[in-house]
Chain A
C-alpha cells in the first residue's frame, strides 16, 4: 500500500480509528488538538468537544467501562485537570480499551509551563507509550487498545510538539471494530469506596509488576547494536535526533514504553557499551530509573531540563562537533504574536486601558493583550484562574474591587471559569468579570464549544446562554457590550466597577477569522488630514504602520472594524471605496 505523509496527530487519529475506537471526548489544547479534529472526520466514530479535560476523561472512561473502546486527548496541562478520573481509573481499570493522549510542549511553543507528563504515568500507575514519528503514532495508538484490555488499565500515549506536529510517512490499514463488549455489574471493580479500593490497589501493584516484566521483551522496546563506544538510551523524538547526530557510530536502546520501564534489557545494553547517554527532553525520568538501579549513565549533567533537544545539541555534547553559521550584523527586532487585525478583543483592552485597572487574566488569544502596546494583563496562571484569582484579590483588600477586573474567553469560562463565578456570587465579592465572547475557541485554532451552538462536526447544538448562566449562579448585574464600540464598552466598565455588587460584562463579537463573519472594506488614512499623532497606533493593530511621518493602513490585513477610526481626532481615517 502506498505511504501517506501525515502529521503525527492525524496518524494518532488513524491508529485510534483502526484500533476500533468508538467514543471520543476531548478538550482542545496545542499541540494535541488535531487528533480529535481528525477523528471527527470519521463518521463511524462518536466524537465531541467536552467542556474541559476532566469531563472528557470521565466520558471516555464511562464509555470504556460500558464496553466501547474510548479515547480522550489533551495537552500536558490538560492532564492536570483530567488527573482525577485518571488516577482512580487506574484502580477501576477498563472493560473495553481506554487510550489517553497527552501532548507535552518542550520549549513551550504554545504553553504556560514545561511540565513532563511522564510523572503522571508513574504517579497514577498507568502504562505510558511514547512514539517517535507518525508511523509509530499510528501503531502505538492502535496497540494502546490491545494493551489497555490485556492489562485492564488505561494507557497513556505521550506525544511532544515535534511528534504531534511533524509529518512523516505512514501506512494505512483496516479498522478492527470489536463492537461493544458486554458490561457486567462489578461493584468490587467499579465502585471505588474504601473497602473496594483497597482490594483494587493490590490489583494495581500486581499489574505494574506484570507490565514491567512484559516491558522486558515487548517489541515496543528495541535495541540497535552498532559501534559500542557510545550507547544511547532514548525515546520519542530524541531517538530521531540521536540517529541523525550519531548514526552508526552509536548503539541504541529505544524505549517505546516509558512506563513501566524494563530493567534487565537496560542493564544488558549498558554493559555492552563503553559510555551510555540517556537522551530525553525535560526531566531525568529514564535517567533516574537507570541510576536508581545502579546503572552508570550520563544524562542531565551533560544536557538540560529546559527546552528541546536537537541533533546539533547532541552532536555538540557527545561529539564536540559544531556547525558553522553565517549571519548579518543587523539588529533584528523580535516578532511576537499579536491579536489579528480587527480582533474583537482589542477594543475591550483599549477600554480597560483607559480605566487604568488591574486585570486578572486568563488563557486564550486575549492573553496577547498582555503585550505592548496594550499591556493590560496583570496575571495569567491557568484556565479559569482569572475569575477565582480576582475574587481572592478582592478579598485580600476590598479596595481592589473598584479597580480590578477579570477577563476570560467563552471557552475558558465554560472550562473552569464558571466555578469561580459561583464563588464570587456565593462568597460575595464585588467583582467585575468580563467574558470575552468571540463565539469560538480561538487560540487553539477555532474549535466549537458549548457556547457556540455547534457540535464538533458543525451540526446544530444547544448553546449555553451566558447571560442566563451568570444570572442563575446569582449575579444580578449582567450586561452585553460590543467591543467595536469603544464608548459603550468604556461606559459599561466604569459603571460596573462603581456599583456595590458583583457584575458580569459580556463583550460579544465573533472572532474575525470565522468564515461566517463578513468583513467591511478596509479603511484608509487620508494623508492630508493625518497629523502623525500616532493615536491610532495605541491599539496595536498589525494593519497599521507608520511611514514618512504618517499612519498607513495595509489593505491586505485591515478588515474595516472601525476601532482605529474612533481614536483619530482629525477624521483622517476614512472608509475605503
Chain B
C-alpha cells in the first residue's frame, strides 16, 4: 500500500497532540508502519501547530510537504487556510469552524479574513466544516473538540468503527471515557 498522510493543524493548547496519539494507536493496531511527527516547545504557547501522521507498508520521512496530505484535520478556520497548500489533489479537509484570533489580529495589526470556508471551497478542495466546539460542549466538555474531530475523520476512512473506539478507550483517562466516547460518536455521525 502506498503511504497515506494525515495532517492535524490548530492552535497550541487546543489538544492536537492527543488526536495524533489516538490516530497513532489506531494505525499501529491495524498493523501499519506508522510515523507521527510533532513539534513541542515554543509553538505550544498559542502558536500555529502542526502534527504529521503517515502510515503504509513502509514509511520513511516523518514529515508531510506541500501537496502531499490525503487528509487535513484543522482545529481552527484560519489554520485550515494556512495549511491548505499541503493538501493533495483530491485530498479531504475537515475544518472546525471555531475562530481564534491570532495576536496580530487582537492588537489590530492584521485582520481575520472573512469567508475562509467559502474561499477554501472555491479552490475545489473537498471540505467538511463542522462546529466541533458546540458538539464537544454537548458531549460534556469544550476540551473534547479533538475527539469530535477525530470522529469526523474516522467516518471518512475505511478503518472499522470498533478499532477507533478501542483506541479512544486506550488513550483517554477512564474518568473522561464516557464523555469522549459521546464526543467521538457525535463527530462520527456528523453529516
Q: Are the CB atoms of B40 and A372 closer together than 8 Å? A: no
Q: Decide if B106 is an interface residue (CB 8 Å cutoff).
A: yes
The distance from the CB of B176 to the nearest CB of chain A, in whole angstroms, is 16
Q: Decide if A373 is an interface residue (CB 8 Å cutoff).
A: yes
Inside 8 A of B81's CB, which chain A residues have their CB? 328, 330, 332
What separation, in Å, do the CA atoms of A73 and B41 have in the docked complex? 16
Inside 8 A of A340's CB, which chain B residues have their CB? 13, 45-46
The distance from the CB of A321 to the nearest CB of chain B, in whole angstroms, is 11
Inside 8 A of A169's CB, which chain B residues have their CB? 28, 33-34
Closest B residue to A29 using CB positions: B41
SS class of chain A's interface: helix, strand, loop or mixed? loop
Known contacts A5-B25, A165-B37, A540-B107; decide if A337 and B119 are in contact (CB<8 Å): no
Encode contact with B along A514-554: 1 for CB under 8 Å, 0 otherwise: 00000000000000000000100100101011100000000
Which of B12, B25, B38 is close to A165, meaning CB atoms less than 8 Å apart?
B38
What separation, in Å, do the CA atoms of A39 and B63 have in the docked complex? 26
Q: Decide if A458 is an interface residue (CB 8 Å cutoff).
A: no
Q: Decide if B131 is an interface residue (CB 8 Å cutoff).
A: no
Q: Decide if A571 is an interface residue (CB 8 Å cutoff).
A: no
Q: Decide if A331 is an interface residue (CB 8 Å cutoff).
A: yes
The distance from the CB of A353 to the nearest CB of chain B, in whole angstroms, is 13
Known contacts A338-B103, A537-B107; decide if A328 and B62 are in contact (CB<8 Å): no
Closest B residue to A161 using CB positions: B39
Q: Decide if B84 is an interface residue (CB 8 Å cutoff).
A: yes
Q: Decide if B148 is an interface residue (CB 8 Å cutoff).
A: no
Which of B66, B79, B106 is close to A537, meaning CB atoms less than 8 Å apart?
B106
Q: Decide if A243 is an interface residue (CB 8 Å cutoff).
A: yes
What separation, in Å, do the CA atoms of A468 and B25 have in the docked complex? 49
Q: Decide if A147 is an interface residue (CB 8 Å cutoff).
A: no
Inside 8 A of A337's CB, which chain B residues have their CB? 12, 42-47
Q: Are the CB atoms of A310 and B63 closer together than 8 Å? A: yes
What separation, in Å, do the CA atoms of A444 and B42 have in the docked complex? 8
Which of A244, A331, A556 is close to B61, meaning CB atoms less than 8 Å apart?
A244
What separation, in Å, do the CA atoms of A153 and B145 have in the docked complex? 50
Encode contact with B along A236-256: 1 for CB under 8 Å, 0 otherwise: 010011011100000000000
- Stretch among B121-129, B151-159, B179-187 lining the A interface: B121-129
Q: Are the CB atoms of B78 and A335 closer together than 8 Å? A: yes
Number of residues from B at the complex interface, CB < 8 A: 62
What separation, in Å, do the CA atoms of A338 and B12 have in the docked complex? 10
Size bin of chain A's contact surface: 35 or more
What separation, in Å, do the CA atoms of A297 and B102 have in the docked complex? 45
Closest A residue to B11 using CB positions: A335
Q: Are the CB atoms of B67 and A373 closer together than 8 Å? A: no
Known contacts A167-B24, A323-B68, A337-B46; decide if A31 and B40 are in contact (CB<8 Å): yes
Closest A residue to B58 using CB positions: A243
Q: Are the CB atoms of A310 and B28 closer together than 8 Å? A: no
What separation, in Å, do the CA atoms of A329 and B13 have in the docked complex? 28
Q: Decide if A80 is an interface residue (CB 8 Å cutoff).
A: no
Closest B residue to A543 using CB positions: B106
Q: Decide if A206 is an interface residue (CB 8 Å cutoff).
A: no
Inside 8 A of B161's CB, which chain A residues have their CB? none
Contact count A vs B, C-beta below 8 Å: 191
What separation, in Å, do the CA atoms of A336 and B46 have in the docked complex? 7
Encode contact with B along A157-171: 1 for CB under 8 Å, 0 otherwise: 000011001111100
Q: Decide if B177 is an interface residue (CB 8 Å cutoff).
A: no
What separation, in Å, do the CA atoms of A332 and B105 have in the docked complex? 10
Known contacts A327-B85, A328-B84; decide if A545 and B41 are in contact (CB<8 Å): no
Q: Are the CB atoms of A339 and B45 closer together than 8 Å? A: yes
Inside 8 A of B100's CB, which chain A residues have their CB? 542
The distance from the CB of A27 to the nearest CB of chain B, in whole angstroms, is 15
Q: Decide if B65 is an interface residue (CB 8 Å cutoff).
A: yes
What separation, in Å, do the CA atoms of A330 and B85 have in the docked complex? 12
Q: Are the CB atoms of A328 and B89 closer together than 8 Å? A: no
Inside 8 A of A473's CB, which chain B residues have their CB? none
Q: Are the CB atoms of A324 and B67 closer together than 8 Å? A: yes
What separation, in Å, do the CA atoms of A162 and B61 have in the docked complex? 9
The distance from the CB of B127 to the nearest CB of chain A, in whole angstroms, is 11
Which of B59, B65, B101, B116 is close to A330, meaning CB atoms less than 8 Å apart?
B116
Closest A residue to B78 using CB positions: A332
Residue among A243, A310, A329, A542 having the largest count of chain B Cβ atoms under 10 Å: A542
Q: Decide if A428 is an interface residue (CB 8 Å cutoff).
A: no
Q: Are the CB atoms of B40 and A162 closer together than 8 Å? A: no
Q: Decide if A334 is an interface residue (CB 8 Å cutoff).
A: yes
What separation, in Å, do the CA atoms of A245 and B63 have in the docked complex? 12
Q: Decide if A202 is an interface residue (CB 8 Å cutoff).
A: no
Q: Decide if A1 is an interface residue (CB 8 Å cutoff).
A: no
Q: Are the CB atoms of B42 and A331 closer together than 8 Å? A: no
Q: 22 pairs across A/B with beta carbons < 8 Å?
A: A30-B42, A110-B43, A133-B35, A167-B34, A167-B38, A168-B34, A168-B62, A244-B61, A311-B65, A325-B86, A331-B113, A332-B78, A333-B104, A335-B103, A337-B12, A337-B42, A337-B43, A338-B45, A340-B45, A368-B45, A545-B105, A545-B106
Q: Which residues of A line the B interface, CB within 8 A?
A: 3-5, 7, 30-31, 33-34, 109-110, 133, 161-162, 165-169, 237, 240-241, 243-245, 310-312, 323-340, 365, 368, 371-373, 443-445, 534, 537, 540, 542, 544-546, 556
Q: Which residues of B line the A interface, CB within 8 A?
A: 11-13, 24-25, 28, 33-48, 59-63, 65-68, 78-79, 81-82, 84-87, 89, 100-113, 116, 119-120, 122-125, 142
Extra inter-chain contacts (5) besides given A5-B28, A333-B111, A338-B103, CB under 8 Å: A323-B67, A335-B78, A337-B43, A372-B109, A444-B41
A-B interface, 8 closest residue pairs, ranked by CB to CB distance from nearest: A110-B41, A30-B41, A323-B67, A337-B47, A333-B110, A166-B62, A335-B102, A325-B85
